[in-house]
Amino acid sequence: MSDSTQPGSWDGPWYRVRTEQFEAAFLPDADENLEAVDNVDVEVRLRDGSRWSATMFTVAQVEVLMKRWAASGEALGGRYFWCSHGLIVRDAGISNMTQVLTGLIENGDVTQVLHRLDD
């Protein structure tokens, strides 16, 4: 997997990362440490102009949510996790998540994993 990411930049509430293959627009909290992000929405625009989306979670964040739901009673007392268009990754951080997106594109899996957005 190539490491072609460039440093990102803020564009309003979006943190945009541009690579040779795609642009990813992440929506973290404004005061969040970008290398600690563990739950974030992302829109990916490929070179062909198609747009794709996901909500990316770390495994650790899924565990935090399930424990919270065990206490609140949500999701059958935290016995399951479900999220439309969810993508679970091992490591936190925008750079790690960008590497996952790069790998999905390079392996041809992006269209099976992410949700296509209509223009």
- Given a cut of 50, is residue 3 above it in pLDDT? no
Domain assignment present for residue 105? The answer is yes
Domain assignment present for residue 112? The answer is yes
Domain assignment present for residue 31? The answer is yes
Confidence of residue 5 (pLDDT cuts 50, 70, 90): very low
- pLDDT tens column, 96-111: 999 999 999 999 999 9
Domain assignment present for residue 49? The answer is yes
Question: Is residue 87 within 8 Å of residue 56, measured between CB atoms?
Answer: yes
The DSSP annotation for 43-65 comes to EEEETTS-EEEEEEEEHHHHHHH
The count of domains in the chain is 1
Domain assignment present for residue 70? The answer is no
pLDDT at 39: 97
Of the candidates 113, 117, 91, 116, the residue with the CA atom closest to the CA atom of residue 104? 113
- What domain range is 43 assigned to? 9-55+85-117
Domain assignment present for residue 43? The answer is yes
Confidence of residue 26 (pLDDT cuts 50, 70, 90): very high
Domain assignment present for residue 1? The answer is no
Domain assignment present for residue 64? The answer is no
- Given a cut of 90, is residue 54 above it in pLDDT? yes
Where are the extended beta strands (E) located within the chain?
9-11, 14-18, 22-26, 39-46, 51-58, 86-89, 115-117
